[in-house]
Amino acid sequence: MLNRLFKLIPIVAVTAVFCLFSNNVNAQSFQTGYFLDNYVYGYRLNPALGVGNDDTKTVVGFVLNDITLGTSTNVGVENFLFNKGGQTVPFTDDLVTKQEFLSGLPAQVNAFASLDLSLLTLGFKTRHGFLTFDTRIRSRNMVTAPKELFTLIKDIQNDGENMANANSMTVPWTNVKAREYFEVGVGYSTRITPDIKVGATVKLLLGAANASFSNSDITIRPNDEGFVVSGSANASITASMVEYDPQKILRETKKYGLQGFGAAIDLGVVWDTPVEGLSASAAVTDLGGIFWKNSIVATANHNETAVSLVDDPPAEEVIASLVDFQTNTKSSFEGVGATFDLGVKYKMPFYERLTVGLHGSFGLGAIPYRDVRFGVTVTPIDQISLALTAASTSNGGAFGAAANFHLGGLNIFGGVDGFITGFGPDHYPVKPVNTVVKLGFTIDVFER
């Protein structure tokens, strides 16, 4: 046993190195799935969890058999839309005072959205473990901005003329990120001792599109000829559908292709402790990143830079005088965002079909997050498993629920990590949203 454990030391070392670079937008996984019995996609949370249970022989899933949608915000629609005189008006309306609008905003506004679509899932039980092949589309999008940015927007909307004549105007910092890529993974889980099960997944990442924008506080001060600007900003876009045009800045094309290539790994372990019915697990997922090529990069670094508007130059010339553009750039590496998962489960001695557990997920992305939840699982019969969870997350509390049904050779599963509440009269959620929604099915070709 010790020899086998020593073999894991190089893997741990490689994991630590990958973590240094995996610092971008994290995935949002379906956390409540950890508590389900017979859950097919448990290996995505921890590759050592495997697929289904020990009796599962095969798994087949095809186009759109699994859809996972995640949304996390610390603001709601009610922060930007207001009811005035029986009408719904935006925060920029004159009827909404600045104090009324700002009083409901946090110091920093965060919004994150993710989408995972399965294209093909295959799983086969081998002599000593379980082998999986997984292909899916993954989308990650985030925005972070300070309260001051929305203050500026309201001021410009309601008092634009006075703003133009002011001594100076400051555009606060902002951070926007979007990434779309394909993932092809091959995984394997096996027992190295009767009590320890390990798993690993190696992933090929194929980048489709990538875009980002960030800036420091930018100060704009008018003068007799135009304005003076101080501050910095960086933007990049990598997509085959657009290219740089000196006249239009960006021009749409009819080209389609991959713009990035990379790799990532998932590593996991499950330990059946000496305490009967108690198991513990640990995993790290999405260790790696993508090398993006042929990006269009725009940078602006200014310290009291004067821009003349005397001859009324076109907007393209003004932009060109402020921004440096680079095209066909060399490959640049970007981490996809590592996530650490820890969990414990305990089967009740008085009723083994009742399980309680604790699971924590910790992301190291541009917006670090945590999701720590307590779960209760009941599996009244082998074909049905139900779970309820209560969580403490980076954006507040949440209650989740999930179900897994094994009907003959068909597995149907779904659930939510956080129920959406507080719907307005027009049927949109007015409160902050913090959830992951999962729905899918797979087929066990050789039913046990």
Could you report the per-residue pLDDT of 136-145, keeping only the tens digit for each?
999 999 999 9
Pick from 385, 416, 413, 415: nearest CA to 398: 416
13: CB partners within 8 A, 6+ apart: none
Does residue 158 contact residue 92 with C-beta atoms inside 8 Å? yes
Strand, helix or coil for residue 155: helix
In order of 81, 143, 429, 433, the CA distances from 112 in angstroms are 20, 7, 16, 10
Pick from 37, 35, 114, 146: nearest CA to 339: 114
pLDDT value of residue 231: 92
pLDDT value of residue 165: 59
Rg of the chain taking only CA atoms, in angstroms:
25
CA distance 78 to 71: 17
Does residue 388 contact residue 376 with C-beta atoms inside 8 Å? yes
Residue for token digits 């990598």?
A: 238
- Both tokens of 304, joined, read 């009291």
Does residue 421 contact residue 397 with C-beta atoms inside 8 Å? no
419 HSE (CA, 13 A, CB side): 10
User: Structurally, what CATH architecture does the domain formed by 2-443 represent?
Assistant: Beta Barrel (2.40)
Does residue 337 contact residue 22 with C-beta atoms inside 8 Å? yes
- Both tokens of 40, joined, read 């097919």
- Both tokens of 47, joined, read 């590759």
CA distance 334 to 337: 9
pLDDT value of residue 377: 97
Pick from 288, 266, 292: nearest CA to 336: 288
pLDDT value of residue 136: 96
CA distance 442 to 62: 8
pLDDT value of residue 306: 87
CA distance 227 to 233: 17
Q: What is the pLDDT of residues 400-436, one digit of tens each?
A: 999 999 888 899 999 999 998 777 766 777 888 889 9
Does residue 92 contact residue 80 with C-beta atoms inside 8 Å? no
Strand, helix or coil for residue 202: strand
Residues of the chain with pLDDT under 50: 1-23
- Both tokens of 97, joined, read 């005072």
Strand, helix or coil for residue 345: strand
Residue for token digits 């320890």?
A: 196
Helix, strand, coil % (nearest 5) of the chain? 15, 55, 30
Does residue 179 contact residue 140 with C-beta atoms inside 8 Å? yes
**Cβ count near 382 (within 10 Å):** 13
pLDDT value of residue 119: 95
**Cβ count near 79 (within 10 Å):** 21
Give helix then strand counts, H and E, for the chain.
Answer: 6, 25
Pick from 214, 91, 235: nearest CA to 143: 214
CA distance 64 to 43: 18
Domain ranges of the chain: 2-443
- Amino acid identity for residue 399 in this structure: F
Residue for token digits 């008018």?
A: 222
| Alpha helices in 76-173, H assignment, sequence order | 98-102, 147-164
pLDDT value of residue 399: 94
CA distance 29 to 91: 33
